[in-house]
Amino acid sequence: MVRSRAIRTLVTLFFVIIFMACSKQKKERVINFPKTDLSLENFIPKPLQVIPSNNGFALDKYTAIYTSKNIEGYEDVGKFLAKKIKAKTDLDLQVNVNDLPNIETVIYINQSDSLNVEGLEAYELHITQDSIILNSNTAAGSFRGIQTLRQIIPEVSNDTLIARTKIWTIPTGKIIDNPQFEYRGSMLDVARHFFSVEDVKKYIDILAYYKYNVLHLHLTDDQGWRLEIKSWPKLTEIGGSTEVGGESGGFYTQEDYAEIIDYAAMHHITVIPEIDMPGHTNAASVSYPFLNGNGRKLELYQGTEVGFSTFDTRKDTVYTFIDDVIREIAALTPGPYIHIGGDESHATKKSDYIYFVNKVEKIVQKYNKRMIGWDEVATADIDSTSIAQFWASKKNAQAAVDKGMKIIMSPAKKAYLDMKYDTLSKHGLHWAAYIPVDTAYIWTPESYEGIPIKNILGLEAPLWSETISNIEELEYLAFPRAIGYSELSWTTQENRDWENYKVRLANQTPFLDRMNVKYYPSKLIDWKKNKNKYKKIDKD
């Protein structure tokens, strides 16, 4: 198999080279490129290795895209790249079309088993004057590689103008890259305030650009239940009718959820659904009162205090309900994970909590999923296949390590996107800390609180929505900090440097402006001024 793939690669590259040579005989261009240095580009996250060759590749109407054929996903990646180039430059690049006249340069997206680094998302970019060859082990790796390529296509066509043809000069050289962590995520809380399918899609667009590969959706809480469960329709009819502050709430139909799943898959992002329990369950218990275990009068809730709700953990019908919910969600969710919450269950007795988590872990496993829970779940008798998400307790994180579990790093003091930047922030909370842009970047997830790197699955930046109710407010809290977390997730510690990073961050403004992102303009960053106006958002 390896040998046949290598032969296919060589044959395809041979024909690409011959095709280019024939094209050059038809039409010779003489282009005096400005001096370019690939190592000075504003990559985020920073690649593993960048080797400049100080020349230029001409991206223009004489460029075509070719991909490995008959290998799942590669042509889709090529078409995705073509769409993004069209949105940025208005160039219509053809994908896998033979006999194109006057083609002078090519972008070739190639499946290869011979990379300098191993990994499902590893890739290499070889950029010369005539060609860009992107090699990867998988379509996911090629997708990460084209995000790097997107970042080095100039935002504005102010290069050379030849024969009335705009040319975007891409610096030449070689990039070798591979992520440090396999899990690089952000969580969006749609339970406290509901966000539309289009809002979620826009968030996915931006996350994908910075090489995130996980979107964790916090779908249920005291204030709302946001995903249709056909076997228990009152969850959304009643539980989905409110949100913090008294607005009307909302929910995703199963078709809406499938649309989000599919859109994320196009961006090689895994969606992780969270059904929070046994606490944070008031919306569910109001919908179906037999679930309630706290003995209090049930009312729809629109506040922000936590810890008062719990399921009745000793009632068999509660587990019948949970089985139905997990069964339906597992069938809708192709990813390997289901998140059960498990945090802040202050109204649940300790013995009842352990009993509950143990039983729910088995239900999740019954449907061939891997359980994730906030770090409190490590206090139960769960096995090493389950994952603890460290948000607050070093003791709980250590218990997870002792059980041989993997840990997702989300310490509230460092990684919570809902924390205010400073005392002047318009939105957010500060119960954990103020997290300015530099604090969000200058920490070491590889060794935070003594957790061994071998136990760390990756990093996730959660965005809770108590204080935000629309996409603009979401963007204010998420960006630019989520951009920094992408680098902490992808780039090795020795390649990270605040002084270098803040320069690269300052140069993200053209992309953020074109995407109409209402980011927080931290005074710590000397933001690049952008005089250009963009008429459309770069999205699919």
Query: Annotated active-site positions, please?
Result: 344
Backbone angles phi, psi at 178, to 5 degrees: -165, 135
d(CA 510, CA 134): 25
Helices (H), 221-336: 234-237, 254-266, 282-287, 316-332
Q: Who's near 168: CB < 8 A, 6+ residues apart? A: 58, 59, 60, 89, 91, 153, 154, 157, 159
- Bridge partners (DSSP) listed for residue 108: 66, 133
Q: How many CB atoms lie within 10 A of CB 341?
A: 25
Answer yes or no: are the C-beta atoms of 120 and 138 closer than 8 Å. Answer: yes
- Tally the residues of the chain: 540
| Coil/strand/helix, residue 370 | strand
Q: Who's near 193: CB < 8 A, 6+ residues apart? A: 243, 244, 245, 247, 465, 466, 468, 469
Name the nearest CA neighbour of 93 among 68, 62, 58, 67.
Answer: 62
Sign of CA dihedral 176, 335, 275, 367: negative
d(CA 318, CA 325): 11
Angle at 443 between CA 438 and CA 444, to 5 degrees: 150
Name the nearest CA neighbour of 106 among 31, 177, 23, 25.
Answer: 23
